[in-house]
């Protein structure tokens, strides 16, 4: 399959970064979100972020911002997705919301369209039941920030075809990223382990064993992590982290995934991490 046009659904942090990375690597991109306001905010974020990417990513050093933005169509109407060869979905980490979206896409997208699900924990097999041909869906867990992180965790669902895997692999390689292919189980590899660590670190802070800076320092200096779990959680978004942990708790019915009350309280208070200016740490917006 020759993929020329890729649709990205969800213009949040991951979606915006992915749209830019696709455009930089030669794809025509359709970026879809619920509102014109959300898309305008995404455009402003892209302009700001591309300045940072120039310092961090070699292939971004010579790019022209307006030329890249010109390859991205900002489309609030889902009907625009009918033109896409490949759709990568990045909306909220909630099964019901994703299921409603795929029910709608099933009536819009072409029969040959491939669907990549960018999810932390939700079953790809379960979501694939919402489209006419489940063999066309694969999990594609991009890391944040997408242009900087050269890795994708791909997830084979029960009915994912070899052709779909080949198409997804070709896209990932064109973006200059490495990948692994794992089987479909809640949380897969990365978040089955990472979310458990973040949740337990939140308990450490809640129990007054150590403050967030000390917890992260242990992971950086003792284990060689470039970023501690709590700073990582702030980068992901504490609302997304909490939703992921709730999915793991619900799917495994294992008390080790019981969400930390402190994490729930922070989300209720609007302390969502970098995107809100405050999470475990405070940020200048």
**pLDDT (0 to 100) of residue 284:** 85
The Cα–Cα gap between 82 and 282 comes to 41
**pLDDT (0 to 100) of residue 120:** 87
> Are the CB atoms for 200 and 235 separated by under 8 Å?
no
Give the position of tokens 């749209």: 19
**Most distant CA atoms of the chain, gap in Å:** 55
For the chain, give every domain's residue range.
Answer: 5-183, 191-268
CATH, domain 191-268, list 3.40.5.50, 2.60.40.10, 1.10.1040.50, 3.40.50.2300: 1.10.1040.50
Residue 140: Cβ within 10 Å count: 25
How do residues 18-69 score in pLDDT, each as one tens digit?
A: 999 999 999 999 999 989 999 999 999 999 999 999 999 998 998 999 999 9
**pLDDT (0 to 100) of residue 88:** 98
Q: Which parts of the chain have pLDDT scores under 50?
A: none
The Cα–Cα gap between 19 and 141 comes to 15
**pLDDT (0 to 100) of residue 285:** 64
Kindly list the distances between the CA atom of residue 260 and the CA atoms of 2, 94, 147, 187, 205, in Å, as whole numbers in the listed order. Answer: 46, 19, 31, 18, 10
Residue 223: Cβ within 10 Å count: 8
User: Superfamily assignment of 5-183 in CATH?
Assistant: NAD(P)-binding Rossmann-like Domain (3.40.50.720)
**pLDDT (0 to 100) of residue 156:** 98
Closest CA to 95 of 125, 135, 115: 125
Q: Identify whether 179 is a catalytic site residue.
A: no
The Cα–Cα gap between 88 and 15 comes to 9
**pLDDT (0 to 100) of residue 244:** 93
**pLDDT (0 to 100) of residue 163:** 98
Tell me which of 141, 159, 179, 225 is the catalytic residue: 141
Q: What's the CA angle centered on 179, arms 131 and 104, to 5 degrees?
A: 15
> Are the CB atoms for 171 and 142 separated by under 8 Å?
no
The Cα–Cα gap between 202 and 254 comes to 18
114-117 and 137-142 as β-strands: parallel, antiparallel, unpaired? Answer: parallel
């Amino acid at each position: 399959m020759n993929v020329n046009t890729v649709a990205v659904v969800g213009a949040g942090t991951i979606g915006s970064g992915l749209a830019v990375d696709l455009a930089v690597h030669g794809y025509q991109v359709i970026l879809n979100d619920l509102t014109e306001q959300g898309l305008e905010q995404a455009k402003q974020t892209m302009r700001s972020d591309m300045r940072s990417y120039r310092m961090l990513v070699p292939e971004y050093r010579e790019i022209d911002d307006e030329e890249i933005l010109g390859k991205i169509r900002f489309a609030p109407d889902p009907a625009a997705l009918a033109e896409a060869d490949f759709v990568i979905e990045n909306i909220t980490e909630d099964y019901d919301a994703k299921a409603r979206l795929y029910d709608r896409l099933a009536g819009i997208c072409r029969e040959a369209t491939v669907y990549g699900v960018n999810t932390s924990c939700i079953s790809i097999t379960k979501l694939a039941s919402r489209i006419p041909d489940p063999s066309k869906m694969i999990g594609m867990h991009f890391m944040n920030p997408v242009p900087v992180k050269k890795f994708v965790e791909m997830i084979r669902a029960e009915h994912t075809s070899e052709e779909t895997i080949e198409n997804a692999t070709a896209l990932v390689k064109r973006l200059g990223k490495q990948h692994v292919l794992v089987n479909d189980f809640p949380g897969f590899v990365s978040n089955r382990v990472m979310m458990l660590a973040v949740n337990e670190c939140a308990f450490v802070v809640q129990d007054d064993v150590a403050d967030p800076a000390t917890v992260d320092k242990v992971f950086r200096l003792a284990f060689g992590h470039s970023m501690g779990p709590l700073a990582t959680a702030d980068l992901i978004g504490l609302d997304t982290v909490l939703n992921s942990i709730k999915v793991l708790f619900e799917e495994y019915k294992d008390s080790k995934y019981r969400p930390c009350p402190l994490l729930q309280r922070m989300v209720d208070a609007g302390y969502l991490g970098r995107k809100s200016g405050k999470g475990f740490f405070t940020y200048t917006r």
